[in-house]
Structure 1
Amino acid sequence: MLNYSLIQAYFGLRFKPEKNLDPDTINICSFNAFEFRINLYDFRHKIKRAEKAWRQISKDFDDPDILLFQEYNRTLDTFFIKNQGYKHYHIIEPKDGSTAIFSKYPILETGDIPFTESGNSATWSDIKIKNNIIRFYSLHLQSSSISKDAENFSKKANLEDKATWRSAWRMIKKYKSSALKRVDQLELVIDHIKSSPYPIIIGTDLNEVAASYVYRNLNNNFKDAFKEKGFGYGVTYDGAIPGLKIDYIFTDKRYKIVSFESCNHQNISDHFPINSLIQIQ
């Protein structure tokens, strides 16, 4: 028999609540922004496109209080800080992984968790929300780096060709290597979490599905917002490998998850932004 808890992690049956929320509810968005697809080609146009898309995402998510970014792009600092009203922030430099936290509430302390020999990263901020202090993590575990390989494989695969099987084996080895790194990185994060004097909320691109060791470890210690209040298939990745749910919001078990949703109609990333309303009293 299939494990019911695992089914819940992939398929949700919860509906979005009405707007009359408890005043102790906070609005969280986590997003692997893929640098908002901004590069040097047609630079200004892509910045404007990203800003326009974000305004719609923010409207759909009812103007989140806290943003937890992975693969953030610093060209949008002014937009988020001045135009969108996130006066409090902590950002890791691109060379160190580009995770970022933006907040409409005061940030008291910040820090990073270095991952050796990796372009991925984790950052944290202690945020004062009314009479509460909560430690937020933006976490991006090791990328598998097999999307392009998978895309080429799907286009050119010939099961009678030895080159096809060599390509498949390379992808498997690449995935295994990255999976082992993710386990090591998660252990660093868990050790850091254990030292926190405050309750925890995590926004993350785990690069792992719900059947993985990494997911189960977090799910055993925290609430998965999607499992609590998600609806439909929990797909969060829009890249070459279809149907993946690898982005999550986890919270301290004492908190009540009010809602969870994703926004799948934007074109500024290969991930979908995810959003959760969390009652912290």
Structure 2
Amino acid sequence: MKAISKITIPIWCLLTLMSFGSVLVSPAFFKYAGLIALSIPFFILANALWFVLLLFKPSKKIIFPLVLLLLSIPFVRSTIAYNSKQKSGKTISVMSYNMMRMNKMGDRGGANTMRAWLQSEESDIKCFQEFLGTKEVIKAISSKGKYHSFVGGYGNSYAIFSKYRIINSGVLYKESSTNNILYADLKVDDDTLRVYNVHLQSMSINPDKELNQQGFDQNYESVRRKFEIGSARRAGQLDDLISHIEDCKYPILIVGDFNDIPFSYNYFKLSRHFENAFENAGNGLGFTYNGKIPFLRIDNQFYNDQIEIFDFETLSNIDFSDHFPVVGIYSITH
């Protein structure tokens, strides 16, 4: 038995470390990195169970699950948040929302109901993905709160509405791209705030056809390939985003639909450069996806060290789309 444990414990520790380390490897370099990262919750739970069992049967081996659990703290912190609301003075509220093509299908209340809510929502800055708004919609949202607007990307897929004057704006990719990154520089009193509105590469997986038991069995290779391609493309898009940011000296907010869970290369790479609003001011699990794949937090807001976060909330009662809106409350600190 001791001989077996001498073999199995090192192998188990190695597998755990490989799983944890997968978030440090770009899927553009190693295509299976994103798939391996999906095993992280399993290893965390298994090591927690191992640790608890050894509490009831004291053994020096408890050091192994203990060390592995300590190494898992960044993953736990990115998944579960508990923060108290902070007092604040003058703040900037920022909403990000993937609108599911303005809910053109009408199966979640319809575009008109969604538009009425968008007009009544009072965030200072609103960033939309899958917007596809007509001139009438843009005018309606802009005039209600006297917002300035910048709309761009393929078919007006992305929009930034701001109560602050837009002094500069742009699009990272040519307009034929269905996934894109918009940015706008906003004049906030004596400061300039750079806001990036992000919608990284989608998986293009149909949960109705490909993720039920029969569909998954039949389309496993297709689903795996879509996952690998999507992960690699998002890694490249994130590299482009970070390169674009390098010369920017302003306070920076990066918000939108990242199409990546917290256990991913993109999330951890961005977290090395920026703070995550959910981790520092959110509560609970903060799931943002409202579709048929449950328990996903793929919509995020990140900010740099010239900004302070006071509150962050997922509006899970707003279910017009297959995403929930997220709202962060910030102030510029310098």
Measured against the shorter chain, the TM-score band is: 0.7 to 0.9
Alpha-carbon offset, residue 257 of structure 1? 0.9
Tell me the equivalent position of 2:75.
6
Residues of 2 paired with 1:165 and 1:100: CA distance?
A: 39
Checking the alignment, whether the CA contact within 8 Å between 2:185 and 2:195 is kept in structure 1 is yes
Instruction: For residues 106-164 of structure 1, give each alpha carbon's deviation from its aligned partner in whole angstroms, at most 9, with x where no partner exists.
Output: 11111110069741010100101011101110010000011x2x333444x25xxxx75
- Residue 174 of structure 1 aligns to which amino acid in structure 2? K
Residues of 2 paired with 1:53 and 1:104: CA distance?
A: 17
Q: Provide closer, same or farther for how the CA distance between residues 115 and 142 of structure 1 changes in structure 2, counting only shifts above 3 A.
A: farther
Tell me the equivalent position of 2:112.
48
Residues of 2 paired with 1:222 and 1:233: CA distance?
A: 20
Alpha-carbon offset, residue 30 of structure 1? 0.9
Tell me the equivalent position of 1:80.
141
Alpha-carbon offset, residue 16 of structure 1? 3.4
Residue 80 (structure 2) pairs with residue 36 (structure 1): no
Checking the alignment, whether the CA contact within 8 Å between 2:168 and 2:185 is kept in structure 1 is yes
Q: Choose between structure 1 and 2 for higher RCO, CA contacts under 8 A separated by at least 6 residues.
A: 1
Tell me the equivalent position of 1:231.
283
Checking the alignment, whether the CA contact within 8 Å between 2:154 and 2:175 is kept in structure 1 is no
| Structure 1 gap ranges (5+) | none
TM-score by length of 1: 0.86
Partner of 1:125, secondary structure, is strand
Tell me the equivalent position of 2:217.
165
Which is greater in Rg? Answer: 2
Q: Provide closer, same or farther for how the CA distance between residues 232 and 188 of structure 1 changes in structure 2, counting only shifts above 3 A.
A: same
Q: After the TM superposition, which parts of structure 1 deviate over 2 Å for at least 4 consecutive aligned residues?
A: 15-18, 45-48, 51-56, 115-118, 150-155, 163-166
More helix by proportion, 1 or 2? 2
Alpha-carbon offset, residue 10 of structure 1? 1.3
Instruction: For residues 162-215 of structure 1, give each alpha carbon's deviation from its aligned partner in whole angstroms, at most 9, with x where no partner exists.
Output: x75341221011110111111111111111000213221111211001111111
Partner of 1:232, secondary structure, is coil
Tell me the equivalent position of 1:152.
209
| Correspondences of 1:1-281 after superposition (within 5 Å) | 1-2=68-69, 3-17=72-86, 21-23=88-90, 25-39=91-105, 46-55=110-119, 58=121, 63-75=122-134, 76-86=137-147, 88-95=148-155, 98-114=157-173, 118-146=177-205, 148=206, 150-155=207-212, 157-158=213-214, 164-281=216-333
Checking the alignment, whether the CA contact within 8 Å between 1:28 and 1:64 is kept in structure 2 is yes
- Residue 221 of structure 1 aligns to which amino acid in structure 2? H
Instruction: For residues 59-79 of structure 1, give each alpha carbon's deviation from its aligned partner in whole angstroms, at most 9, with x where no partner exists.
Output: xxxx21111111112132122
- Residue 248 of structure 1 aligns to which amino acid in structure 2? N
Residues of 1 paired with 2:317 and 2:304: CA distance?
A: 30
- Residue 108 of structure 1 aligns to which amino acid in structure 2? I
Residues of 1 paired with 2:117 and 2:287: CA distance?
A: 20
| Structure 2 gap ranges (5+) | 1-67
More strand by proportion, 1 or 2? 1
Residues of 2 paired with 1:107 and 1:52: CA distance?
A: 24
Residues of 1 paired with 2:160 and 2:211: CA distance?
A: 36
Q: Provide closer, same or farther for how the CA distance between residues 138 and 112 of structure 1 changes in structure 2, counting only shifts above 3 A.
A: same
Q: Provide closer, same or farther for how the CA distance between residues 37 and 111 of structure 1 changes in structure 2, counting only shifts above 3 A.
A: same
Alpha-carbon offset, residue 246 of structure 1? 0.4
- Residue 159 of structure 2 aligns to which amino acid in structure 1? A
Partner of 2:255, secondary structure, is strand
Larger CA deviation: 74-83 vs 220-229: 74-83
Checking the alignment, whether the CA contact within 8 Å between 2:99 and 2:321 is kept in structure 1 is yes
**Matched length:** 261
Checking the alignment, whether the CA contact within 8 Å between 1:118 and 1:142 is kept in structure 2 is no
TM-score by length of 2: 0.73
